[in-house]
Amino acid sequence: MAVKVDTKHLIVTCFAFWACAFPVMSRTLNEDSVAATHEQWMAKYGRTYADEVEKAKRLKIFKENLLYIENFNNAGNRSYMLGLNKFSDLTNEEFLAFYTGSFNVSGQTNPSKMASFQELDISDIPDSVNWRDKGAVTQIRNQENCGSCWAFATVAAVEGIYQIKTGNLIQLSEQQLLDCDTQNNGCLGGLMDYGYEYIIQNNGIASREDYSYLGNSTGNCDSEKAAKHAAQITDYAVVTGEDQLLQAVAKQPVAVRVAVGDAFSMYGEGIFSGPCGSRLNHEVTAVGYGTSEDGTKYWLMKNSWNEDWGEKGYIRMQMNVGNEGLCGIAAHGSFPIINA
């Protein structure tokens, strides 16, 4: 299928790169080897092009991405590795247009929603937390060609606190947020805070089974499906800074915003340490934190780019990188609240 770029979508962002599908070996790039690798990649992902002109264009982009990956991996002394993935024939601009989707909302945080935390006492915080192991995280999902990362981050955080409070892990509906949340813009981007506000105003959110994901915004809210409440929340709170984020993630999954770029999109495995994008343009869910064997502290993030991106759909990001965190990950986080 030919790849088309709609430039009007370049103003919003929820960026996808599905993980290391091919090992990138240290070798000299030449036209024959690149072309052969591209053919193998096309076969793996079922990619076809409209004509030879389009194929030549995509091959050129593929080669540029492959060269970037090899140069990065061959530089050595890296805490993580890059790799080819499903979208290795797209430019960075195309990814930013179609696979990111977080609003630019600097300065718009509701002061009444700022979380109240006592001064951080490290002795009260566990050394590591993994909400997957605690049964509060559903399987990795795929936002597809839609800037709906905000909906996936919102839903993952709500799924987490609902399981913690009730013991029941339920897959909730991102599609309901795309169709019914009028403060956000569906596949054209959004913010998790507004997603929480919609769920509160609607007195709940449906299950994914009842309101299934389509990978696009329908423009119509199915009120009958939206009324089938599988989970409810009563409030939400905003955190800023790594200390507050640490306190929050120790208690539940937290939706966060992050600035992604080329390196993030091509992430394969290891502890990501940058470089980052230029602005907060993607939303993921912090589902834990820990320390690697070499002593590096990291955040564990659930993404929405399917299981063949990163570490089976997850990324570990270096912790303790300034107050706002690596790639701005602690600049704006928020979590849902369920009062007894």
Best mean pLDDT range from 24-33, 207-216, 260-269: 207-216
Quote the pLDDT of residue 111. 58
Question: Tokens standing for 335?
Answer: 């979590």
111-337: CATH, from 3.90.70.10, 3.10.620.30, 3.30.360.10, 3.40.50.300? 3.90.70.10
Residue 9 in contact with residue 188, Cβ under 8 Å? yes
Q: Is the pLDDT of residue 278 over 90?
A: no
| Count of C-beta atoms within a 10 Å radius of residue 149 | 33
Which pLDDT band holds residue 325 (cuts at 50, 70, 90)?
very high
> What is the per-residue pLDDT across 161-197, written as a single tens digit (0 to 9) for each?
999 999 999 999 999 999 999 999 999 999 999 999 9
- Average pLDDT value for residue range 273-300: 95
Quote the pLDDT of residue 112. 65
Residue boundaries of the structural domains of the chain: 12-98, 111-337
Which pLDDT band holds residue 104 (cuts at 50, 70, 90)?
low
Does the pTM surpass 0.95? The reply is no
Quote the pLDDT of residue 117. 58
H or E element in which residue 288 lies:
strand 282-291
* Residues sharing a CB contact under 8 Å with residue 166, sequence separation 6 or more, in sequence order: none
Which pLDDT band holds residue 123 (cuts at 50, 70, 90)?
low
Residue 294: burial class (beta carbons within 10 Å; 0-12, 13-18, 19+):
exposed
- Average pLDDT value for residue range 3-19: 37
Residue 268 φ/ψ, nearest 5 degrees: -115, -55
> What is the per-residue pLDDT across 32-56, written as a single tens digit (0 to 9) for each?
899 999 999 999 888 999 999 999 9
Residue 292 in contact with residue 274, Cβ under 8 Å? no
The arrangement of secondary structure in 12-98, i.e. its CATH architecture, is Orthogonal Bundle (1.10)
Which pLDDT band holds residue 17 (cuts at 50, 70, 90)?
very low
Q: Is the pLDDT of residue 340 over 50?
A: yes
Residue 208 in contact with residue 185, Cβ under 8 Å? no
Active site positions, annotated: 149, 282, 303
Q: Which residue has the higher pLDDT, 27 or 308?
A: 308
Q: Is the pLDDT of residue 114 over 80?
A: no
